[in-house]
Structure 1
Amino acid sequence: MMTNEPYYRPIRIEEVSIACNDGISLGGHIWYGDDPGPHGSVIINNATGVLAKYYHRYARFLAERGFDVLTYDYRGIGASRPPNLAGCTFRWRDWGALDFEAAIHFMRRRFADTPIKVVGHSVGGYLPGLAASASVLDRMLTVGAQYAWFGDYARDHRVAMFLKWHVIMPLLTAIVGYFPGKRLGWLEDLPAGVAYEWSFRRPKFEVAYDVAERSEVLSRIGAVTAPILALSMSDDEFGTPQAIGRTLSYYKNAKRTIVCLKPTDVGQEKVGHFNLFHDSHSSGFWLDTLVWLRGGVNPWPNKIAGFSWENA
């Protein structure tokens, strides 16, 4: 589905610092125009090891069309990276429980009367449920959202991906003290705790928590009631329908819809896990996302995937 889009507004960009409850500060940007946005605010949650600046073109696109948008780097990444990455103890779960939580509070202070929507890419679509304040969210759009259990990787890529992310990554992390992904051309560098949580992920994410913490984290993700439109691309080796369904099965009290698209549906030969946030999609897929973010209408009603949450 593609829509005609007549509405544009001037924007301005502000560099911001987001304070987390544990004293860590995150670097980010607010993208907004001269007048309050009529469609609410959006928090963009990045994929693992991807800098916030990769999403800046999409953030500008949304801001030009009436949204106030926050982009930010998780702790240990990009503008939120400490001087000594090997010496920090950041974990994947902290990106949700502390960083995204701080992002929610930041946006509520800055735009008190507007609903908060989330665009979550990859792990960025899983993290919201770890935040204590996620119950205030208005709507979520997720793209390839999953928490990287290797059993959900695309079957024809699974062995190579297991070796790369679940054997080589933890070995290098143990040697270096953090995952040197940038030197390898494998995304950005990652804190050791993030790399290990990814490498040793199990089918049920909560088993990574102490037994006493599991009921609380499950309660948090179950408290989210924001409708979720979850997108899977047919050539995405990470965000398969099984992976997305496994993640969404925890959002038990949210209305959840999985849409499966082929690259040809968005005018491409290949898309994979990352391409949808390239500005080549500004006149197609990006316009379609507005239909959901503005009015909660699925722009791909003929692409809905059947899924049994109970079997996730």
Structure 2
Amino acid sequence: MPNLPPLAKTQTSNKNGFQCQSVTFQALDGYTLVGTLYTPTIHPIKANLLISSATGVPQAFYRRFSEYASQLGYQVLCFDYRGVDRSAPRQLKGFKMSYLDWGKLDLAGAIEYFFKADTALFLVGHSYGGQALGLTPNHDKVTAMFCFGTGAGWHGYMPLKEKIKVQVIWNIVFPPMVAIAGYLPWSKLKMGTDLPKGVYQQWRKWCKNPTYFFADPEQQVLHDLYAQVKTPIYAVAALDDDWALPNSRYAFMQHYKNAPMHFINISADEFGLQHIGHMGYFRKGSEQIWDKMLDTFESLIPHSS
């Protein structure tokens, strides 16, 4: 691993029970990433929580959860992958990258920064964020991962209505938008932040197959990479998450074949919610979901009482 420069911190603010800092750090290839560090001020730090975002979801979406966890004694780092929101270049058109860079280089760089030998490091993955662990060369530094809505992305796992909607978006809506803009102007549909063309192209290609990128002849090395992961994984699927239902989750998670795996199905009713879907895991009202995860993490902290 390269020696990275010290974490740069700016725009510090103090809130009830935690301190919030804007930070910059480097991916493994030196690309500068922008994140936010939440540090508890009224509790000793129990452990570090690193948030690995979903595709096209900016770090600000996870603010409420980050503040909640920090107030309970966890130091939290969330960040934008390259090409996304605060880590994007001024012009996305012509920006070249691989969808896999977010895991291989960006998440790996965040792990390298946030890891402390005397502090447990937990990963909270959302959708792509749960896929990304297997791409990192330093996954052994992660104590455990909770991932939400992580699946294989194939439309065949979705209910009929969502299946039709997704196919229309991929095959009719997105292609002309990308052809005109030179990137995916996803923000115009209010579905997420704009995405680099390379991310769009690979994502579209891999979502056509039931086993996602594991079926790509150019990505067969990924089978061995994912088999190396031995980090305990808690894979959560909401039963109303049409994008990542349990069968989609199983299709992807089977490739973490040497990781201790815990499959958790949840429903909105059991948490007093009207709906969870693909994004509700981190929205207001989901505190009971967060509590279950944090209780599990606390039980895994070495020498915790």
User: What's the TM-score once normalised by structure 1's chain length?
Assistant: 0.85
Partner in structure 2 of residue 31 of structure 1: 38
Q: From the superposition, tell whether residues 147 and 39 of structure 1 become closer, same or farther in structure 2 (CA, over 3 Å).
A: farther
Structure 2 distance, partners of 1:230, 1:258, is 5
The answer on 1:214 being equivalent to 2:214 is: no
After TM superposition, the runs of 4+ consecutive aligned structure 1 residues lying more than 4 A away are 35-38
Deviation of the 1:177 alpha carbon: 0.7
Partner in structure 2 of residue 294 of structure 1: 298
Structure 2 distance, partners of 1:154, 1:39, is 40
Structure 1 distance, partners of 2:217, 2:106, is 18
Query: For 1:14, which of 21, 32, 55 is the aligned residue?
Result: 21
Deviation of the 1:182 alpha carbon: 0.6
Partner in structure 1 of residue 13 of structure 2: none
Give the 5 Å matches for 1:123-162.
123-162=128-167
Structure 2 distance, partners of 1:97, 1:37, is 31
Unaligned runs of at least 5 residues, structure 2: 1-15
Structure 1 distance, partners of 2:263, 2:126, is 14
Partner in structure 1 of residue 108 of structure 2: 101
Q: Among the aligned pairs, what percent are the same residue? A: 28
Deviation of the 1:167 alpha carbon: 4.3
- Secondary structure of 2:153's counterpart equals coil
- Secondary structure of 1:85's counterpart equals coil
In structure 1, give the amino acid aligned to 2:200: A
Deviation of the 1:38 alpha carbon: 4.4
- Secondary structure of 2:35's counterpart equals strand
Partner in structure 1 of residue 183 of structure 2: 178
Deviation of the 1:166 alpha carbon: 4.7
- Secondary structure of 2:97's counterpart equals coil
Partner in structure 1 of residue 286 of structure 2: 281
Partner in structure 1 of residue 124 of structure 2: 119
Q: Is the 8 A contact 1:91 1:191 kept in 2?
A: no
Partner in structure 2 of residue 310 of structure 1: none
Structure 1 distance, partners of 2:49, 2:92, is 29
Q: Is the 8 A contact 1:170 1:196 kept in 2?
A: no
Structure 1 distance, partners of 2:128, 2:152, is 6
What is the alpha-carbon root mean square deviation over aligned residues? Answer: 2.0
Structure 1 distance, partners of 2:42, 2:82, is 31
Structure 2 distance, partners of 1:152, 1:167, is 20
Unaligned runs of at least 5 residues, structure 1: 1-8, 298-312
